[in-house]
Structure 1
Amino acid sequence: MVNSSPYIRCLDARFYLKMNLSFIVYPPPSQLKIDASIVWSILLTAILVINITLLGIICAKSSLRILNNILVGSLCIANILFCVFYILPAKVILIGNSIIPFTNIYCQLSHTVFQLAFFCCINFHISSISLDKLINVALPFWYDQNRKYKLIMFAAILFTCWVLPTFMAFLPFMISWWRICPYFCVISERKADRILNLTIWHTFWPIFMFLMPTVITVTFYGRIFTIARNHDRRLRAGSLPSSERRIITRSGVKAAKTVIIIVGVYLLFQMPYHIFQVINVLDRDLSRAANKYNLREWLLFLASCNSVFSPIIYGCHDLHLRNALKSLSCFKPLKKLWKASS
């Protein structure tokens, strides 16, 4: 029977099971997948512990429930949901083919929609935090006085960070490039212009998900550093004692270190994966050679490590959050033990 549908025919797990071809439906996991699952489990635990701790501190202390920490708390929520909806089912449990439609639909969405949406959402939060810090430095009077406009600004930022990535991740289904297959964990693609559509899609996402937030983040933090440096120069040009000039110089060095750490860590973890995604589209031979070593899997793991370090950086950078972390009751017995041993 000729398939007259404009889409590639959906596979059916029930058919293979009736033909006693269960190894097609439920292929045994390789040793590499088992080892990768263990490594992802460690990362999952680290992300959840760090982000839940930081989010709990922000929610528990009334002094920390301010607009400045809304974006940090929202970033923690995005990292937690990234673990729950993507890492846990797709990388730890290794969800796959099933005769249950919901399982197959979730399997297809986890490797397409959920991964892209959460990566994009996390990166948008990072660039939004840089915008918040820039406004705080460049327009301190407006930032402290206009609470109504700040609320509107933060509402618009949060809406953009959450809704826009989700909308863009579902776009191929909305424009009928893809459709869901209910009985196998493989998305059915439209036959017409299939290669062209995939090339456009996999080129667009590194630009939208990484390059655009990166340019915004680097630009804003560069502007913050420039403002801080110019402020230091003006103060040093005045008639200040040498001791105060040294303090100002140290503050400028601290600002430079902060910018280097925030931007450097972000690029270190995120850039290799997205460069590989572009190469995967432009040079198929090179990507096939790299896939022999499962390079994409480990670069994806490296990119996901950003969900561990970004909350730590923002938590330690903020004085109030840093003091709240130090005052955690769970650290007090360790402090006492350290003092007793010394």
Structure 2
Amino acid sequence: MYTLLTGIIITTICGNLVVIISVSHFRQLHSPTNFLTLSLAIADFFVGLLILPFSMIRSIEACWYFSDTFCKIHSILDSAFTVISVLHLCFIAIDRYYAICDPLHYASKITFQVTAMFLSVCWAVPICFSFGLVFTGRNEDDSNPAYFNCEGICNVTFNTILALFTPLVFFFTPFVIMLGIYGKIFIVARNHFAAINNTAAKTTSRKEMHSRGLKQVESKAAKTLGLITGVFLFCWLPFYVVVVLQSFFNISVSSFIYETLGWLAYFNSACNPIIYGFFYPWFRAAFKTVVSGRIFTEASSCINLFPTNH
């Protein structure tokens, strides 16, 4: 178990570190969309670095060997990073909506200043909310105000209202919004392709072929980000369903199932770099550049990461 979970932790840390280095270093990747991707990778990197090692020990040993105060900090960061990831995916969906559905006004609406505002909300709201709940004691169960169920176990309890309110507001509602946005994106992208194909059947001018290629790239990017959202939902939905069933409907779930679903949710932090590797040519090119050491050469930040047909 230690070998398996350590492998997940290393994959999470190293994969997201490559994304962080790539977007930060290569000037070609400096765009509002990629800065959102960078911030999401930072959140996943911190999950692998600050959350998963201690969760691994707790899951395998069935005991919390660290202090009560650190249990609170660990729990705060654990829940905060989940909400941070959800908000990132929401703002990425909004970014893609304007890029595909309203491309003429995209540059004026999704500026670096707007992206900075998005990122401020993504990080400030979840951290303040989590710290406020745990350190003020608002999260405690009314029937059992003790923070720990027993000595040596790090288990934050939530009262019935918060157990239903938190997943509903910070998980289910954002994903309903995202599904609506991506549904609209795919409808518009399909209409664009139909119009472009009709035009291409009559003429094959260089300008129209270039426009067609740009639309294909935008659509592929939207599908990839939609896949990232779908994988996040697949990894986290079972865990949140169990949390609601346990807290609100008082349904008992074995510790094995709970821990398994918890690590399925954690595994999402390792999934995004894998998805980038399969679907983003720039990620594969950046990965090769970083691993080969070419990143330390002069003017490496200006290397072209995109295929010539892009």
Residue 105 (structure 1) shift:
0.2
Tell me, yes or no, if the aligned pair for 2:182 and 2:226 is still in contact at 8 Å: no
| Residue among 266, 278, 300 paired with 1:304 | 266
Equivalent residue pairs, number: 280
Cα distance in 2 for partners of 1:198, 1:217 equals 28
Q: Distance in 2 between matches of 1:59 and 1:228?
A: 30
- Is residue 2:23 matched to residue 1:54? no
Distance 1:279 1:270, change over 3 A: same
Which of these two proteins has the greater Rg computed from alpha carbons?
A: 1
Q: Tell me the TM-score normalized by structure 2.
A: 0.75
Change (3 A) 1:203 1:66: same
Name which of structure 1's ranges 116-125 and 43-52 shifts more when overlaid on structure 2: 116-125
**Equivalent pair of 1:48/1:83 in contact (CA under 8 Å):** yes
Give 3-state SS (helix, strand or coil) of 2:111's partner. helix
- Equivalent-residue separation in structure 1 for 2:167 and 2:70 (angstroms): 23
Residue of structure 1 aligned with 2:194, choices 211, 230, 233: 233
User: Following the alignment from structure 2 to structure 1, what is the Cα–Cα distance between the partners of residues 276 and 174?
Assistant: 17
1:164 and 2:125 aligned: yes
1:291 aligns with 2:254: yes
Give the corresponding residue for 2:47.
Answer: 82
User: CA 1:85/1:173 → structure 2, altered by over 3 Å: closer, same or farther?
Assistant: same
In 1, distance between residues paired with 2:222 and 2:92? Answer: 17
Q: Deviation at 1:254?
A: 5.3
Tell me the residue number matched to 2:297.
none
* Cα 1:307/1:251, change in 2 over 3 Å: same
* In structure 1, C-alpha distance between the alignment counterparts of 2:48 and 2:222, rounded to whole Å: 32
CA distance in 1, matches of 2:175, 2:112: 25
**Is 2:79 the partner of 1:116?**
yes
TM-score normalized by structure 1?
0.69
Report if aligned partners of 1:58, 1:73 keep a CA contact under 8 Å in 2.
yes
Deviation at 1:283, TM superposition (A): 3.2
State the partner residue of 2:246: 280
Of 136, 156, 161, 2:99 maps to: 136
CA contact (8 A) 1:38 1:92 kept: no
Residue by residue over 1:299-337, the C-alpha shift from the partner in whole angstroms, topping out at 9 and shown as x without a partner, is: 0111111111123324654453343235455499xxxxx
Which string of whole-angstrom CA distances, capped at 9 and with x for unpartnered residues, describes residues 208-263 of structure 1? Answer: 33212312322222121111011122234447249999x97994995785466334
Q: Which residue in 1 is equivalent to 2:303?
A: none
- Match 2:36 to one of 51, 63, 71: 71
Instruction: Give the residue type in structure 2 aligned to 1:104.
Output: D
The one-letter code matched in structure 1 to 2:73 is L
Q: For the Cα contact (< 8 Å) 2:277–2:284, is it kept in 1? A: yes
Q: Distance in 1 between matches of 2:155 and 2:12?
A: 33
Q: Is the 8 A contact 2:76 2:131 kept in 1?
A: yes
Which of 61, 66, 71 aligns to 1:107? It is 71
Does structure 1 retain, via aligned residues, the 8 Å contact 2:93–2:178?
yes
Q: Which has the higher contact order (CA 8 A, sep 6+)?
A: 2
Identity fraction in percent: 23
2:9 aligned with 1:44, yes or no? yes
For 1:310, the aligned partner's letter is N
- Can you give the 5+ residue segments of structure 1 that lack an aligned partner in the other structure? 1-34, 333-342
Partner of 1:170: helix, strand, or coil?
Answer: helix
CA distance in 2, matches of 1:125, 1:56: 19
- Cα pair distance change 1:212/1:172, threshold 3 Å: same
Runs ≥4 residues deviating over 6 A: 179-182, 186-189, 242-245, 247-250
Cα displacement string for residues 276-298 of structure 1 (whole angstroms, at most 9, x for unaligned residues) = 111112332x42xx315x11111
Q: Distance in 2 between the 1:133 and 1:54 partners?
A: 19
Question: 2:159 & 2:202 partners in 1: Cα distance?
Answer: 63
Alpha carbons 1:225, 1:259 under 8 Å: kept: no
| Aligned amino acid, residue 72 of structure 1 | T
Asked if the contact 1:54/1:315 (under 8 Å) is kept, the reply is no
| Cα shift at 1:275 | 1.3
Name the CA distance, whole Å, in 2 between partners of 1:232 and 1:188: 51
Structure 2 SS opposite 1:305: helix
Shift of 1:273: 1.1
Change (3 A) 1:201 1:187: farther
What is the SS of the residue equivalent to 1:96? coil
- Determine the C-alpha separation between the residues in 2 that align with 1:268 and 1:181: 30
Moved more, 235-244 or 199-208: 235-244
Superposed CA offset, 1:20-53 (max 9, x none): xxxxxxxxxxxxxxx3x44322211110010011
Bigger drift between 154-163 and 254-263 goes to 254-263
CA RMSD of aligned residues (A): 3.7
Q: Distance in 1 between matches of 2:258 and 2:9?
A: 18
Distance 1:241 1:227, change over 3 A: same
Change (3 A) 1:78 1:257: closer
